[in-house]
Amino acid sequence: MNDLSIATFIPSPSQGVWHLGPLPLRAYALGIIVGALVAIWIGERRFTARGGRPGLIGDMAIWAVPFGIVGARIYHVATDPELYFGKGKHVIDALEIWKGGLGIWGAIAGGAVGAYIACRRYGVTFSSVADALAPGLLVAQAIGRIGNYFNQELFGKPTTKPWGLKIDLAHRPEGYSQFATFQPTFLYELLWNLAAAALIILIDRRVKLTGGRAFALYVMFYTAGRAWIERLRIDFAHHIGPLRLNDWTALILFTLATTYFFRTRNRAVDEPAPEAKGSDELAG
């Protein structure tokens, strides 16, 4: 198959970085920022609708977002150490986060640590905050995947489907230069995350999810989707046995979240103190 044989496809942007004078504006970074703002907005509405203090989610983001970024970078460096350590490498490059390299698993873990610290400082239960944020996190991750689209990265196997993603020759992995279009895994994950967010909100409206169970559903839905999407990807990844490292991470987290979700289904939990009522839209 060559480029001329493709009748229909999804085109890729010609660039993912724009310069405003000496300042580079990166699509991936912009996606993360917009996604974080949307997650805070959704979380704020859900938290206040459950009786929480207005503005608290935004206050907590001051802790959660930096911790999430640090966690994402640590996970990336820890799982791809050959990029930063060894002969001909420069350890200082591990700190150059603006050049890319963030791991979603580390972002979730780091953000959770930051949110937990903030919960202790503000005197609210971590589970109530996690439940409020759950669907917004999925929406944020969906928005973040648009950055991968602009960077022409994290796509899947070659395909001739009409929704195949056109990848420029310079971005095609070694051994795949003869193929023009690939599975748009960024789009699959984006749609999966949005559907999962809507499903959590729907379930929460029918059966009020408390005690961290909405967050557990978030982990379950995301990891289930990530597992099958990961099977389509062809970018380099470390393997443990037959599975990619991300597959093992998704499997472990899915198992833990599922166990927690069903074990706590009858547990009474504390909700945030009813300091202020808000709209029940998005709340469930």
SS (H, E, C) 256-276: HHHHHHHHCCCCCCCCCCCCC
Is residue 5 very low, low, confident or very high in pLDDT (cuts 50, 70, 90)?
Answer: very low
Between 146 and 97, the more confident residue is: 146
* pLDDT bucket at 268, cuts 50 / 70 / 90: low
Residue 260 in tokens: 């927690």
- Mean pLDDT is lowest, of 93-107, 113-127, 192-206, 223-237, for 93-107
Measure the CA–CA gap between 180 and 220, rounded to whole angstroms.
34
- Judged on CB neighbours under 10 Å (0-12, 13-18, 19+), 30 is middle
- State the pLDDT at residue 175: 92
Sequence-distant (6+) residues with CB within 8 A of 270 are 125, 128
Question: pLDDT class for 267, splitting at 50, 70, 90?
Answer: low
Whose CA is closest to 24, among 151, 130, 111?
Answer: 151
If one compares 151 and 99, the residue with the highest pLDDT of the two is: 151
Binning pLDDT at 50, 70 and 90, where does residue 271 land? Answer: low
**What is the rounded average pLDDT of the residues 61-76?**
91
272 pLDDT above the threshold of 60: no
* pLDDT for residue 283: 46
Nearest partner of 261 among 201, 197, 218, 202, judged by Cα: 218
**Average pLDDT for 85-101:** 76
- How do residues 137-196 score in pLDDT, each as one tens digit? 999 999 999 999 999 988 999 999 999 999 999 999 999 999 999 999 999 999 999 999
The whole-angstrom distance between residue 109's C-alpha and the CA centroid of its chain comes to 11
Angle at alpha carbon of residue 134, lines to 131 and 135, rounded to 5°: 130
* Mean pLDDT over each residue of the chain, to the nearest integer: 87
Please tell me the pTM assigned to this model: 0.86
Structural domain boundaries of the chain?
Answer: 24-154+184-263
pLDDT in the model for residue 24 = 81
Q: How many CB atoms lie within 10 A of CB 191?
A: 14
Mean pLDDT of 68-97: 83
- Position of tokens 């859900």? 46
Establish how many alpha carbons lie within 13 A of residue 31's alpha carbon, considering only the half-sphere containing its beta carbon: 22
Q: Where are the alpha helices (DSSP H) in 123-162?
A: 126-151
Whether the CB-CB separation of 108 and 148 falls below 8 Å is answered with no
Residue with tokens 């929704």: 163
The upper half-sphere exposure of residue 126, i.e. CA atoms within 13 Å in the direction of its Cβ, equals: 12
pLDDT top residue among 122 and 270: 122
